[in-house]
A and B are shown apart, each in its own frame.
Chain A
């Protein structure tokens, strides 16, 4: 059974600081997705990582994938309050990674 673990589960940080969220998974996969969820809202797709060594960046967020270590990271650079949300990683299995197993989520709070 595929297990996806995120850490930390809760993260409180100051504006301007850098931090990394980790996503470990238990079985081989080369499809890794990151989503953002604001309170009471649905999930917004951030990144799709499709191969070992994949790195994608959007604004202050950068995601990477190491399939050999079964690890993905979401790095936050110079955090701002607008980044406060819950971030989920999801590992894709099955046909083209269509069957997603989500982690528990990391609740990020960026304080002024």
Chain B
């Protein structure tokens, strides 16, 4: 079974430029998450989708970040314009509720460097 797929794996951009990340979750997983992981820290949730509905986006900086999951499968996270502080690894995860818990499976991440 294929895992969570993300692209690109690495991205270097200049500040003020836009950038987009793509995620394809594990087949059949209806819950999708985007996290940001700064160096030396744990991941922080940006947004969670249940199917195509964003059910938790309280941590998403909405002035410059946007996300979509149009058909309830793959998802795109966009930053426009990027700032130096956005340099981080952006992780996508998906889960399927089983036995009363959401065990999340993470993709390889996109390492963003803003110069």
Residue B88 is within 8 A (CB to CB) of chain A in the complex: no
Total A-B contacts with CB atoms under 8 angstroms apart: 60
Q: How far is the CA of A50 from the CA of B98 in the complex (A)?
A: 11
**Are A90 and B42 interface neighbours, CB within 8 A?**
yes
Contacts of A103 in B (CB 8 A): 42
Determine the residue in chain B with the shortest Cβ distance to A94: B56
**Known A94-B56, A100-B45: A42·B31 in contact at CB below 8 Å:** no
**Known A94-B56, A98-B95, A104-B42: A45·B101 in contact at CB below 8 Å:** no
Residue A96 is within 8 A (CB to CB) of chain B in the complex: yes
Contacts of B104 in A (CB 8 A): 33, 45, 100
Partner of B56, one of A4, A42, A88, A99: A99
Q: Which A residues from 32 to 67 make CB contacts under 8 A with B?
A: 33, 35, 41-45, 48, 50
